[in-house]
Structure 1
């Protein structure tokens, strides 16, 4: 991949290092480029990152070819790709699919499926998931395709510039709206399970709205927005106020209506890391979450939430 930048008057006399930092390059990425022959050129000649740019010249960054991610075995599987360009993918993940390989999940993960996808395209593949979803959580996630988009998107996550909205089916009649502001920590006897812990927990805040209530099943459809991103935050917070997610093997193993936790990453809003074009994606409510008698959230969601 090659990136070309035409230097404007506003960047005249800036060093290349400063300019690249302003474009979202990380120090480690700049260091990697600095140590790669002919990766940085200005006006057609190789230069150091201390070179001071001149208005009107072209700065060219040539990213070295990448090797495939080690230990990720390509495995054929269906992947619902909603958007792809040379910088990123937006994927609507199915339930039952872990994000990356781990003990017991060697060749059945999203990473394995993407390794196959890029192998078929005869393109190199390094797995860079920007936001993570639990194995049984469905919906939208972003995968960066190169180191530049990866470092910019990761910084956007830290600055809360990637806006995520979730849908969850919860037990009982949820209040119309509210905020759950309760610290979350590991339980003392598990490395996986979390709990509300006001003393030892990390700050966690979840905003919710009730979008629909089904008296026949006594379940509500909740719209959710996170101010923090703690492990299992939605699942723990909703349980803590008496409205757990059905089908949740850790926190509420009630499988009468659904066989996995009823949580869906519904909506993503963010600025493209390179083109700076606003992007917006939605993924429809999955079929297994429609047991409460609703198939679409159209007209229910408050866009200002």
Structure 2
């Protein structure tokens, strides 16, 4: 295991920022090592927000590189855009984004490793290139980073809420007002650990929505995320009494038949990490979604 020693002299500020300027590793990588307790100051484990002091002795233990064991798979993949820094993927409904317990194969990451040779390493061997996620049964657009510099830029845009992510959702009930904002903190449900919920001490979560079309007992809405909490749209829509149709986790038992929730990530916009150009992409809704809307229009 490699070891780096740094003595703090005149530097000031957070340890993750200071170290990223002193050693040849990215700030995100240093934050990961801090989280994994691979960084000590004067022999003590510290967090990323630790403010360095003159004379601090910092020790970084760099773990041995882990051999990539996730297998590349020749799975069909819709690549909407690709250059040397980023790729935009249109994920089909039913595909898990990255390997986890019970899903070692058949994921978007397995497909990415086959179709795209260069992927950022910031999120480790399980999630190469993955900057953000959408749920298994949510379809639509995802941005993928092909190197660490691009990853840091895209992740910062998500953090600063400057990227654009718009969704289409078909929800239960007829929403009377044309626009709305849901500002309600989200955290793990106390009743069911597999679910998220609006809870008092949860992480801040803000969702904006606008009505696109009304049907009998259902409403088609466009949503824009300010934050990216797990299951955010599904939890927020349930919270205001309009759960996403077809949602097996947060919706009612009697709902529309499909391949899971009727939720589609239709628009993705971001500033290119290298050129500084704003880029925006759109994805057509899946066939089952379109057919369901047609049926609702006919019934209406």
| Paired position in structure 2 for 1:74 | 72
| Paired position in structure 2 for 1:289 | 289
Counterpart secondary structure, 1:201: coil
Counterpart secondary structure, 2:115: helix
| Paired position in structure 2 for 1:4 | none
Give the deviation of 1:275 after TM superposition. Answer: 0.9
1:155-188 residue CA offsets vs partner (Å, 9 max, x unmatched)? 1111112111111010111232111122222111
| Paired position in structure 2 for 1:6 | none
- 1:28–1:75 Cα change, 3 Å: farther
Point out where structure 1 has 5 or more consecutive residues left out of the alignment.
1-24, 35-66, 296-305
Give the deviation of 1:27 after TM superposition. Answer: 5.9
| Paired position in structure 2 for 1:31 | 23
- Give me the CA root mean square deviation: 2.5
Give the deviation of 1:200 after TM superposition. Answer: 2.4
CA distance in 1, matches of 2:195, 2:271: 34
| Paired position in structure 2 for 1:95 | 93
Counterpart secondary structure, 1:161: coil
CA distance in 1, matches of 2:267, 2:135: 16
| Paired position in structure 2 for 1:107 | 105
CA distance in 1, matches of 2:73, 2:21: 30
Counterpart secondary structure, 1:142: strand
Q: TM-score, normalised by structure 1?
A: 0.70
| Paired position in structure 1 for 2:212 | 211
1:65-91 residue CA offsets vs partner (Å, 9 max, x unmatched)? xx9971211111111111000001001
- 1:256–1:124 Cα change, 3 Å: closer
- 1:130–1:70 Cα change, 3 Å: same
| Paired position in structure 2 for 1:160 | 161
CA distance in 1, matches of 2:234, 2:99: 23
- 1:27–1:143 Cα change, 3 Å: farther
Contact 1:170 1:244 in 2 (8 A): yes
Contact 1:219 1:292 in 2 (8 A): no
- 1:272–1:26 Cα change, 3 Å: farther
- 1:211–1:269 Cα change, 3 Å: same
Contact 1:68 1:124 in 2 (8 A): no
Contact 1:75 1:115 in 2 (8 A): yes
Give the deviation of 1:230 after TM superposition. Answer: 1.5
Contact 2:154 2:270 in 1 (8 A): no
CA distance in 2, matches of 1:137, 1:26: 39
